[in-house]
Structure 1
Amino acid sequence: MVIDNVDRNYLMFFDGDMKIYYNDIFEALCYANIEKGDIIFVHSDVSVFGKLGNIRDRDKFLGMILNAFKEAVGPEGTIIMPTFTYSFTKGETYCPETTPSTVGVLTEFFRKQNGVARTIHPIFSAAVWGKEKAYFTEGLSKDSFDDDSIFGKLRKKEGKLVFFGVDFHAMTFLHHIEQKHGVPYRYMKSFTGRIKVGDKEYEDTYTYYVRYLDKNVITDASRFERYMLGRGVLKEVKLGYSAVKVARSNDIFDIGYELLNKDIFFFLKDKIMI
């Protein structure tokens, strides 16, 4: 994954006179408060910044984006990306080595790279590179959002959430806040299925704090995002036609929890009947 002798003028995105080079991406990450040694959980959409600068060499293009993240956090940092599959919710066998990520081309590319490990979670798996790889891939809970889930561990380690071309609607960490608070529009549900690791295959059960399907529960995190931007807790740096946004997971949790104390439906599009 490491790209030696990086071409800082490598064209990543363009549209007419608008051009984004590798160094623009790296600087945007730094201006958004990603620092050496950081632990970052990255939600991404690489299609929104502009036209792709080099669609003929897809692997190099994606590798350059990953390299910018690695350069930003440095060798003491840790990068986590979601590689969610929802396998057990769909009645499918989950194999961490082969089951593809369903949440973006960058995440699928990332999980296949040397030095990256993937969690054994048949619903909300994640891929991890860096110093804290073992911490984030070992000893995880079989619950999706509790304190020993990858989201709980991110908060314990005071990691940062990065939104690379996406808004808060992509933030799965929101459900960690909802579960810890105990919102009334979600409930705990168990999912049982098959997991295949190497030559071993076994049955297991995981839990997921799901929404009530009959109560018109529609998540809308846009109000939360505006609030965080207004407080200056969420740092936003424009990049092409989109932006890079970064906030500390602890700040997101603490403020989100306070907002739920004031309005239990704050993360929903509309209030619902319980």
Structure 2
Amino acid sequence: MSELDAIQGSEHPNTVKSLAADLAAIGVQPGMTLIVHSSLSKLGWVAGGPVAVVYALERAIGHGGTLVMPAHSSDLSDPSEWQNPPVPEVWWDVIRDTMPAYDPDLTPSRGMGAIPECFRKQRGVLRSSHPQVSFAAWGKHAETITRAHPLANSLGDESPLARIYDLDGWVLLLGVGHGNNTSLHLAEYRAAWPGKSVVTLGAPVLVEGDQQWVTFEDINIDTGDFPMLGEAFAATGAVRAGTVGRAPSLLMRQRALVDFAVEWMAANRTASGEN
């Protein structure tokens, strides 16, 4: 959506105050630990753009709350796995040898949208250390959520997602669907299904100050059934739906979502990947 489309499609400009009021109306409360997945374009025109959205979220949860967003950098990965677009095989070793190592301050997010990319650079925001699936956090529990993020099993029980689970946090889908809901990956690590397997990944990192290409083990995560899973969870009545700006939005407890998803995956996923 262009900025002109956003203006023409909005009856009035969204502001920090109006967005914070919309967030409160959907159930966002002071003190919450809240992980947000978002689409700026779905909100309509916002006075201040992504900065205003970040301020509205922080106003809604207050100084006693914690705001979390994904700051993933999927391009810091093995070029042999790249598909959109692929690169020639003769480039692979050059890329592995020369790609700059992950830097939590410098490395931009990729494919996360304007709001998380703005948020990760805000003063006081901390970012976890994983080169591919880092998370940024602000507020009361930011250090607890981001301080330990191992390479292996990157979205599992030692990840920021699990710390949000421990804190009984909430998930807000702000103009996006469950296909963007990273908390469902935590369920993948906890669930058992016939096609679950271990894969080897690679990334450039700093090891004692030296840039190195390292490999690590993870599982074969898959978002293909997340929308269907999300619909099943919503049918339980555990999801609050509303509108923030012009964006259809969903709010839910992460712990309830993950627990439901573990059982749903075990019952519905097959070795072939068909559901």
Which interval holds the TM-score relative to the shorter structure?
0.7 to 0.9
- Quick check: 1:95–1:197 contact (8 Å CA) kept in 2? no
Query: 1:196–1:34: structure 2 CA closer, same or farther, 3 Å change rule?
Result: same
Counterpart check, 1:194 vs 2:204: yes
For residue 186 of structure 1, report the CA deviation from its aligned partner. 3.6
Amino acid of the residue matched to residue 133 of structure 1?
A: A
Whole-Å separation in 2 of the counterparts to 1:89 and 1:249: 31
Question: 1:95-244 maps to which residues of 2 (within 5 A)?
Answer: 95-102=103-110, 103-142=112-151, 143-196=153-206, 201-202=211-212, 204-211=214-221, 219-244=224-249
Distance 1:48 1:17 in 2: 11
Change (3 A) 1:139 1:218: closer
CA distance in 2, matches of 1:107, 1:40: 13
Aligned counterparts of 2:65 and 2:135: Cα–Cα separation in 1: 16
Cα deviation for residue 205 of structure 1 reads 4.1
Equivalent-residue separation in structure 2 for 1:97 and 1:145 (angstroms): 21
Residues 17 and 73 from structure 1, CA distance in 2 versus in 1: closer, same or farther, beyond 3 angstroms? closer
CA contact (8 A) 2:192 2:265 kept: no
The amino acid across from 1:112 in the alignment is K
Instruction: Work out the CA distance in 1 between the residues paired with 2:9 and 2:269.
Output: 46
The DSSP-based 3-state class of the residue aligned with 2:197 is strand
Alpha-carbon distance in 2 for matches of 1:220, 1:18: 36
Distance between the aligned counterparts of 1:128 and 1:220, measured in 2?
A: 27
Provide the secondary structure at the position in 1 that maps to 2:36. Answer: strand
AA aligned to 1:39 is T
Amino acid corresponding to residue 179 of structure 2 in structure 1: H
Q: Give the match for residue 94 of structure 1.
A: 102
Cα 1:49–1:135 shift into 2, 3 Å:
same
CA RMSD of aligned residues (A): 2.4
Equivalent position amino acid for 1:61 in 2: G
1:28-43 alignment runs, 5 A limit: 28-43=22-37
Unaligned runs of 5+ in 2: 1-5, 80-95
Higher helix fraction (1 or 2): 2
Deviations, residues 211-259 of structure 1 (Å, cap 9, x unaligned): 5xxxxx7713222222232222111112454312111111101111222
CA distance in 2, matches of 1:199, 1:119: 17
Give how far 1:31 is off: 2.1
> Structure 1 residues 18 and 205, CA, compared in 2 at 3 Å: closer, same or farther?
same
Aligned-partner residue type, residue 75 of structure 1 = H
SS in 2 for 1:36: coil
Q: In 2 relative to 1, CA 240–26 (structure 1 residues): closer, same or farther, beyond 3 Å?
A: closer
Query: Deviation digits for residues 163-199 of structure 1, max 9, x if unmatched?
Result: 1110001012212111211333342223343224996
Determine if contact 1:88/1:94 at 8 Å carries over to the other structure: no
Q: Which amino acid is the alignment partner of residue 31 of structure 1?
A: A
Alpha-carbon shift at residue 210 of structure 1 (Å): 2.0
Normalising to structure 1: TM-score of the pair? 0.80
Partner of 1:68: 56
Q: CA deviation at 1:209?
A: 1.6
* Counterpart position of 1:85: 73
- AA at the equivalent of 1:254: D
Letter matched to residue 223 of structure 1: M
Report percent identity of matched pairs: 23
Instruction: Point out where structure 1 has 5 or more consecutive residues left out of the alignment.
Output: 1-12, 55-59, 212-216
Count of paired positions: 245
| Shift, 1:99, TM fit | 1.1
Q: Report if aligned partners of 1:96, 1:196 keep a CA contact under 8 Å in 2.
A: no
